[in-house]
Each structure stands twice: as C-alpha cells, then as structure tokens.
Amino acid sequence: MSNEDSLESRILRAAATTTDLPDFPDDKSDLPSDYEYNPDDDEEVEEVEEMTETDLLHYLDQQTNPLTVAQRLFYHELNTLTAQKHEHDWKLKCLTNKSVEDLYAHGWTQLDTLLDLECVKGVRHEADAMVANGTFIPASQVKTNDEDPYRDVNARDDAIVWLDPTSSSNSPHIQKVLDFFNGPLHDDLASMVRLNGKTEYQLAYYHPANARYEKHRDALPTDNPDDTSQRRITAILYLNPGFSSSDGGELKLFGAPHDTADGGGGLDAADHVIPPLLGRVVIFLSGVIDHAVLPAKKERFALTAWMR
C-alpha cells in the first residue's frame, strides 16, 4: 500500500479545497492608483469545509472500492485457485471455508448453526430480564452532542448495554456467548484477517413501536495493518424466536452504489434483507457494508461484536 492510498491521505484529499484567486500583476503600474500594500493582506485564510460522514464515505468509495481496501487486510487472496487448494490448511474452529470465502469475496456472510439454540434462548431470557430491570440505556443518550457533535441522535431508536467478557456479573448464557465470540470465532477471523485491536460487545434492544437504525457504516475503509481505531469485523447474533415477516426489524445490507470505484467489484449490486432469526449470525467487513435496521413491530434483540 502506498502512502497515497492510505486512509489518511484519501481523507486529506477529500478535505482539500482550492480557492481561485486572481493573479498578482507583474508590473506595479497595473495596480490601482489608490492601492496601498498591507502585509497582513498576504496571509492565507484557511477555508474549513464541513463534510458529513456519509459524504466522506461516498468520496472514499469513489476513489477506491471499499471491498478492495478491506481485502488487503486478509493474509491471503482467497479468490484464487492457489488459496482454494490450501483450504484444508485453514484449520478453522467454527467458521466454514465457504463463509470465509464469502466474507472475502462479497464483504459479508451468514451462518445459522454456529451456536447451540438452547444457549441462545437462554441469552434471550436474560436480555428480557435486563429490559425489565431497566438495564438498557437509549443509544442516543450514551453520548451527548458536546462529546460528539457529529453524532446524529435521531438516527437510531435502540437501547443498549455494553458487555465485558471479563466481568463477573455477566449472566451465564451471555457469558457463554461472549466466550465463544472472544474465543473460537475471534481465533478463526484473526487467522484470516489482520486483527490487532480490542473487541467491543454490545447488546441492543429495539422496542416494538417501529424502533429502527438508519443506514450507516461501522467504520471507515482502511487497509493499514497497524490501525487500531477502525473496526474491521462486525459479527451479530440475533435473539428473536418465532420471527415472522410481519415483525419487522430485519437487517438491510445495501448494495454498492453505481458510482463505487471499480463498479463495486465483488460487492453485490442488489440490497439484501436478512430476517433476525434466533441463533442467526451475520458477519461483515465493518468498513465496507452499509446497513440499517428496518422498523421493528415486535421486540428485537441482537448481540454485536466489533473486532479491530
């Protein structure tokens, strides 16, 4: 990766502005007769142009396909015959070879049998108890505008609680899931993708009165192996038994816009709407996939891990 392709360089190019100033005359006789030189007038005035996160992502995607950027964080190019011949050497603990290939080729994958359903049902019961006990906090109130002036507090309606896998106060089934995410799942992903930062865990609750989360992305696309600020992998476990299409709350993965660099590359052009079924796990590249939670008509829970 060249310096010109780094995330920092691409952001600076997006923020750069030019001002068209008239040429200073070569001959002083061309100056107005009442012109008086003031050295302070030569000071350049820095222009600050506000750019939303959406605008920045759009610019970055136009410069370089975000999937191409994220694929550079994989240890191997998984869409080659050579890589496929060595699939038996991957020694994955819980993921399938196909799920890893899909993650590389399309930026996301879905698995429905990673965790024991009885354990997942136990997590749901524990989450219901947390709602009854008032443990959840509206996500829009977690940070104030003073702490994060660019935060759109109106973009989401969920309530959340942050989880710590080392805490002794975790409920037993939640602890089992955290151990799985922090153990076998992280090990598999770290064997394929360069991960060198911490993992964040969050349990989210969507109330049944059309709670939603608008279109967003979990990180900026980066291929810097030393970066620990940007999330790289998003993994979501759904905790919703008896889901039907009338319940709402589906996860919507947005297809690549038509003006994405390289025509979107391996990114799907079409949108995907994924029902949040009990035990379903969706994994995607955090800096690649735009996604949203559609309005929920029934209580909806999800446990998410963000790996850096």
Give the lowest-confidence range in 34-43, 236-245, 274-283, 284-293.
Answer: 34-43
The span from the CA of 297 to the CA of 277, in Å, is 14
Identify the sign of the CA torsion 237, 269, 221, 194.
positive
Q: Identify the pLDDT of residue 18.
A: 44
Residues 23-49: b if buried by 16+ CB within 10 A, e if exposed: eeeeeeeeeeeeeeeeeeeeeeeeeee
The span from the CA of 94 to the CA of 194, in Å, is 18
Question: Is CATH 2.40.50.140 the right assignment for the domain spanning 71-307?
Answer: no
Identify the sign of the CA torsion 159, 129, 122, 176.
positive
Residues 6+ apart with CB under 8 A from 133: none
Q: Identify the pLDDT of residue 29.
A: 53
Asked whether the beta carbons of 115 and 282 are under 8 A apart, the reply is: no
pLDDT at 251 over 70: yes
The number of beta carbons lying within 10 Å of the beta carbon of residue 126 is 19
Mean pLDDT computed over 83-96: 84
Give me the phi and psi of 294, to 5 degrees please.
-75, 155
Instruction: Tell me the pTM.
Output: 0.85
Residue with tokens 């800096």: 287
Mean pLDDT computed over 91-95: 95
Q: Identify the pLDDT of residue 21.
A: 47
Q: Which of 152, 128, 129 is nearest to 139 (CA)?
A: 152
Sheet strand arrangement including 272-274: 211-216, 291-296, 251-253, 272-274
Confidence of residue 57 (pLDDT cuts 50, 70, 90): very high
pLDDT at 44 over 70: no
pLDDT at 69 over 60: yes
Task: Please tell me which residue, 275 or 10, carries the higher pLDDT value.
Answer: 275
Residues 191-249 pLDDT 10s: 999 999 899 999 999 999 999 999 999 999 999 999 999 999 999 999 999 999 999 99
Give the start-to-end residue ranges of the domains of the chain.
71-307
pLDDT at 37 over 90: no
Residue 184 gets which letter from DSSP? I
Task: Please tell me which residue, 46 or 9, carries the higher pLDDT value.
Answer: 9
Asked whether the beta carbons of 273 and 250 are under 8 A apart, the reply is: yes
Residues 6+ apart with CB under 8 A from 16: none
